[in-house]
Amino acid sequence: MFFEAKEKGFFKVIDGYEEKHHRLYGYQSPYHEAAAFVVSELFGFGVVPPTFMRTLTLPGQLSPKLGSVQRYIEGQTPKQLATRKGIYIEPSKLMRIFDLLIGNVDRSEGNYVITKDNQQWAIDNAAAFQTSNSLKANLDDTAKGPELRDRISSMLSEHPLVLLRLKTTSDAQIKSALGMLLMPAQIKYLIARKNTLVSVAKQQRQSF
């Protein structure tokens, strides 16, 4: 999949410092933008605009820069809608599942766009792919775990095709798709979160 001629896009640059520290520590990175698109397509979410890593020479610069290029989506962020129209639209259930899967900790009101047909697009995913499974920790919490489990199960039940992809996509497929974009530890925890989501759906089904 490539951009059409004259299409707009966002180029998020990665410099030498960010490149080094992404590979070592997994800081916020343009690599995460491209990886989020891969995950969105791999599991059937369809919530991230086409995003690829590219090396481009920007106007006025002599040397090329590595970064992520994301297709521009015509729409408004919830922050813009709140300011202009006095309404606020929360992230969709589909996007919430997606954020749980990729370990995104920053789906703020400026990080997703709503189009005229009310489709939501996740446009900023740099804070994703945390090397932890806080989802499991929250589910294991005796105070908030049961309610969270019910909410996740309900959201998954509304998106059976995504749940099917979560169940059937192998670890090998995930590693092959993301090996050039994420560190091994990030892929490991992505798989762990995937398995946690599948486990929630399975346990809730067995409880009935």
CA distance 3 to 60: 23
Annotate 109-134 with b (16+ C-beta within 10 A) or e (fewer): eebbbbeeeeebbbbbbbbbbbbebe
Sites in the chain below the pLDDT cut of 50:
1, 17, 23-25, 208
Provide the pLDDT for residue 208.
Answer: 45
Provide the pLDDT for residue 25.
Answer: 43
Q: Is the dihedral of CA 98, 103, 108, 113 positive or negative?
A: negative
CB of 178 closer than 8 Å to CB of 187? yes
CA distance 143 to 150: 13
3-state helix, strand, coil split of the chain in percent (to 5) is 50, 10, 40
Provide the pLDDT for residue 4.
Answer: 59
Would you say the pTM of this structure is higher than 0.85? yes
Residue ranges of the domains in the chain?
9-206
Nearest to 39 by CA among 192, 197, 175: 175
Annotate 13-31 with b (16+ C-beta within 10 A) or e (fewer): ebeeebeeebeeebebbbb
DSSP secondary structure code for residue 4 in this structure: P
Provide the pLDDT for residue 17.
Answer: 43
199 Cβ neighbours under 8 A, 6+ residues apart: none
List, in sequence order, every beta strand (DSSP E) within 6-147.
Answer: 9-14, 51-56, 65-71, 112-114, 120-122
Provide the pLDDT for residue 84.
Answer: 85
Q: 183 φ, ψ to 5°? A: -75, 155
Provide the pLDDT for residue 27.
Answer: 60
Beta-bridge partner residues of 51 = 70
